[in-house]
Amino acid sequence: MKKEYLAQINYIGVDPNDEERFSWAEKRHLSFTMYHVFSEKIFDSDEDLCYIVVARPSKEDSLQIIDLEKETHSFEFEQLTNNEYLPYLISKQLVQKSEKIVPTSVTTLFIIPPIEKRLFRFKELAKNFAAREYKITQKELTTRNILEPFPVTKNEIFIDTYHFDDMLKKLNNNQFSDEFNQCLFAYTHEKWFLCAAGIGSCLEHLMLLILMNYNKAAQLGRNPTAKDYLKAFTRDPICLDARQQTYIDTLFRLRNSIDHHNAGITSKRICDMLLDGVTNVFNEYYVPSTN
pLDDT confidence tier of residue 263, bands split at 50, 70 and 90: low
Length of the chain in residues, anyone?
A: 291
What does the pLDDT look like over 2-20, one tens digit per residue? 999 999 888 888 877 778 7
What mean pLDDT do residues 91-105 have? 84
Mean pLDDT rounded to a whole number for the chain? 83
pLDDT at residue 45 in the model: 52
Domain ranges of the chain: 2-141, 162-289
CATH no., domain 162-289: 1.20.120
Whether residue 120 has pLDDT greater than 90: no
pLDDT confidence tier of residue 176, bands split at 50, 70 and 90: very high
Whether residue 39 has pLDDT greater than 90: no
What mean pLDDT do residues 83-88 have? 88
28 or 21, greater pLDDT = 28
183 or 110, greater pLDDT = 183
Distance CA 266, CA 193 (A): 11
What mean pLDDT do residues 213-227 have? 90
Distance CA 271, CA 38 (A): 46
39 or 155, greater pLDDT = 39
| CB 47 within 8 Å of CB 13 | no
pLDDT at residue 82 in the model: 83
pLDDT at residue 154 in the model: 43
Whether residue 155 has pLDDT greater than 70: no
φ, ψ dihedrals at 76, nearest 5°: -60, -45
| CB 12 within 8 Å of CB 131 | yes
What mean pLDDT do residues 229-247 have? 92
Whether residue 144 has pLDDT greater than 50: no
Distance CA 5, CA 131 (A): 9
Residue 184's nearest CA partner among 172, 196, 174, 173 is 196
